[in-house]
Amino acid sequence: MAENTSITEKNFEFKEITITSVNGTSFDVYPQLVEFTIFEDIYNSTLSGKLILSDSVELFSSIPLTGFDFLTVVIVKPGYQKEIIFEKIFRIYKLQHDEINQVSRSSQTYTLHFCSEENIISLSRTMSKSYKGVSSSFIIKDILKNHLGVSNKKFDPRNPKDIEESFGRQDIIIPNLHPLQAAIWLTGRTISVSRKNSSANFMFYENREGYNFKSLEKLFLQQTRAKYKFKQKNIDVSGETIIDEFRDVIKYEIVNTYDVMRGIISGLFSNNFKAVDLVRLRADDNVFNYDDFFKNSIHINNDRIPGEPEYKHAHPFHNENEDRTQTKTYKNYFARTRMYPTNRGHDVIPSISKKQPGINPSLVERWMSQRMSQINQLNFFKLKLVIPGDTYLTVGDIIEFKMPLIKTQTPGEDPNNPYYSGRYLITAIRHKLDYQSYEMIVEGTRDCLSQELLPAKNDDPYLRELKKQ
């Protein structure tokens, strides 16, 4: 058992970090530890990571790794109770020899790549199965329990609190897909039961707590888990608490900012879904308008005003003049067009429903265009924060970040950027630990601005002349 007895300000210690070979032999690799990294990503279905070891005793010569070995990691909080804050078992699937000391040949460095066991199981098999008149949530539970055999620590079928109920009943045939691949495919066509939101976006991912199947709406409506700020380290910190210091951002970077051309091409601002009815031999256009969608959706900056039912402080990314053809980007519907079969109305048209009773609508009109736009909204503005390790923070959580203004400020002026300070959804975390320090690289995103942009002036004479050039 590996144990770090020194209590650091990062407030963690390794209780166990062992490798178990295929013959059942376990050995402690804490003495060889250089770095331990875990990756969480809301767009990936399982956890992954890497373990860097410095070996001067030829550790793996007596018990060679085969790619079918297990890694057990237990991290606890220091103190008398030693509360377990992270306990996982991973599969080691790759060994990479990084460096050998050529002078003394006294040590070598390995990188062990690992992932959740479900990833290996999923890749090694496929499923072909039909589901009749069930919800997406039911299918996700069936995949986790019966096709992947997920333990109750990651998914408890008796109390699946992290598997959100979805809207509607579907007739689905999963055509020879890997189980996790099938879950991701199904996620993209799932609708929330809530009537508050016009969005149709669910996410399927594993975080520190287990497997999740949640709508963006539910994630957006969470309480803020932690608040962070960035400031210079050479200023007066008198009166600041330990918690204040813990919530300081070490470094931040704007990864993505507005890219209008990418927004147009991706269908973020407007798109058209052509629903093809193969029975009635017709194709109908369903246009998507970002402006209308935004007004009817719940957003991440959902500060509730006391006594008011609506959510405020969420404003759209765009604020554009009409172009020279007197059209706005969010009305150019055919910038992005997709086609997909539909059975809309088949359950109520007598000539069809009599021949095939019990048809369940695919509801493609409610999720195709919406997902095309909203996923790209989450990539329109993205931050990367380097923060001290927080063992209770995970992907899918909401944090608040006060982004500083990069300018000389006058006394009494708000030092924070009014447009980009606010709530962010954590979409990815890299947990980086060694024997005495813990750091996190957090990726945060949002689907709105915190302050409304100045209104565009379509009647301005100078702007009208510019658009003619």
pLDDT of residue 9 exceeding 80, the answer is no
300-359 per-position pLDDT tens digit: 986 554 444 444 678 888 877 777 788 888 888 888 999 999 999 998 999 898 888 889
- For the chain, give every domain's residue range: 13-122, 125-221, 263-371
Task: Specify the residue for token string 């530890």.
Answer: 33
Give the residue from 153, 208, 162, 154 showing the smallest Cα distance to 391.
208
Q: H or E element: which one contains 292? A: helix 290-295
Return the residue matching tokens 């019990």: 358
pLDDT digits (tens, 9 = 90+) for 165-206: 998 888 999 999 999 999 999 999 998 887 555 566 899 999
Structure tokens given for 209: 């707590």
Report the alpha-carbon distance of residue 397 to residue 374 in Å, rounded.
Answer: 18
| Residue range 56-106, pLDDT digits in tens | 777 777 777 888 899 999 988 776 456 778 889 999 999 888 766 554 566
Closest CA to 19 of 83, 95, 99, 85: 95
Q: What is the mean pLDDT of the chain?
A: 84
Helix (H, G, I), strand (E, B) or coil at 216: helix
Q: How far is CA 20 from CA 31, 34, 64, 91, 92, in A?
A: 16, 19, 11, 10, 10
CB of 268 within 8 A of CB of 290? yes
Cα 208 from Cα 224, distance rounded (Å) = 18
Domain 13-122 in CATH 2.40.10.10? The answer is: yes
| Strand-strand pairing, 398-402 and 226-229 | parallel
What lies within 8 Å, CB to CB, of 219 at 6+ separation is: 203, 396, 398, 425
Q: How many CB atoms lie within 10 A of CB 104?
A: 8
pTM: 0.88
Query: DSSP letter string over 97-164?
Result: EEEE-TTT---EEEEEEEEEHHHHHHHT--EEEEEEEE-HHHHHHHIIIIIS---TTT--TTS-TTB-
Per the structure block, which two tokens stand in for 64?
């060679």
Per-residue pLDDT band for 284 (boundaries 50, 70, 90) equals: very high
